[in-house]
Amino acid sequence: MLFNSVTFLLFFILFFFLYWFVTGKSFRWQNILILVASYIFYGWWDWRFVFLLILSTLIDYFFGLAIYQSTTRKKLYLWLSVANNLVILGFFKYYNFFAESFQQMSQKMGWEIHPYILEIVLPVGISFYTFHGMSYVFDIHNGKLKPTSNFIEYAVFVCFFPLLVAGPIERANHLLPQVIKPRTFQYSQAMEGMRLILWGLFKKLVVADSLAVIVNQIFGHHESYSGATLVLGAVYFAFQIYGDFSGYTDIALGTAKLLGFELLTNFKFPYFSRDIAEFWRRWHISLSSWFRDYVYIPLGGSKDGKWGSLKNIFIIFLLSGFWHGAKWTYVVWGGYHALLYVPLFLLNINRKHSDKIVAHDRKLPTLKEFLQMSLVFAMVTIGWVVFRSSSLVDAVHYFEGMTRNLFAMPKETDGLKLVVLFLILDWFARKDERKPHAFVRDEVYIILLTIALLIFGKGTNENIEFIYFQF
């Protein structure tokens, strides 16, 4: 079930009515309703994977209790839980990748090995809900969280449908307290939610889906275009993936607000970053912070000496790339960002821009800030070419094509209007990602965005899935 579909609209209208007007006097019945709705929402893709979701939820629920109650086997139960999660994730997401990679390596050594290849569909959002459960047991083991004995409450934390398939990756100490207490409808919170939903739909339907048509054409036939057009295609994809993923997040946050929940922030205007470290503090924040808290710091973080710290940095960036999917392009993309990050770390300036967004007290950036943002965007866009390519060979050919007829008049320039419009609107909203364009009255904002969606939000006249559903 897609956020950008009539099916979801009808589903949510019915759910909203039942949530506030039928079960509104009991948050426990609200939680049961959320859980049932979440399973229906998830099962809309494939009912078979609902049982996998329930199994994953049960594993971490019982291991969480076991870790908390045990005095001598906490670590054993922790690693059993982690192992179960990784086995499920690895089987469905990575088995074929390792099997095919092993086969290719064996052939280069002169061995003919034919491993069994699974013909299975990747369960949508498996990486997201797996990481929800793992953070829960890690926090219990580290003494940061007391487990809930109520399975429904825990299951709502894992399966809450606004964030189930593409995040943000929630933390139990942030979402569970909201699950286990009564919720009341608040008009101001609901209006903020409507703003975010409409802004997210604008990003997805008007910007991302429109650019997707051009991006697919350019990347699918890159050998036929000049370097200038290929550069433009890379820029288009940078804005497509940002509009698509941050658009989903806005809709998720807005939907949760309509139900009385506040989810974690996942984006803070990453393309206005002044260095690559700031970019990663503003892009997919819930994933970056997850790897920081549960991988980087336990490995020793920055306290392990320069060489140890560099090793840890490369580990989390490579894992971040591999988290996105079983392709070498994602691994190389992660390694590429590690190489960009390392110089800032060695010079001890990786926290230089960690306080406020660029030009926080000004309308426009300085020339220096503009050049910094342009450089960061260029570096990030180079990485997006690898990320978007179907293979490393295709990525190399795309880069080679970018050097061909670089100064020729580019084709497919229609998307530039959308990119410029998106940049301008994002710039005016940059001070608060939860209240986009707050200088416009709620009613006027909702009317204007609704009109824009009706006129321009047709995309390709079909519902295009969000990019991060595949992860």
Point out the residues that are catalytic.
Answer: 324
Bond prior to 168 in cis (omega within 30° of 0): yes
Count, in order, helices (H) and strands (E) of the chain: 20, 0
Hey, what are 13's tokens? Answer: 């209208």
Residue 210: name the closest of 461, 460, 463, 451 by CA: 460
d(CA 76, CA 289): 25
Hey, what are 139's tokens? Answer: 């926090």
What is the length of the chain? 471
452-456 contacts at long range (C-beta below 8 A, 24 or more positions apart): 452/202, 452/206, 453/198, 453/201, 453/202, 453/205, 453/206, 456/205, 456/206, 456/210
Residue 210: name the closest of 177, 255, 247 by CA: 247
| Cβ atoms within 10 Å, residue 460 | 11
CA distances from 68 to 61, 137, 145, 154, 160 (A): 11, 9, 9, 15, 24
- 101 CB contacts (<8 Å, ≥6 apart)? none
Residue 215: name the closest of 242, 197, 190 by CA: 242
DSSP H helices in 170-304: 172-179, 187-201, 209-220, 227-258, 276-282, 285-291, 297-299
Hey, what are 298's tokens? Answer: 């336990």
- On whether the CB atoms of residues 302 and 294 are closer than 8 A, the answer is no
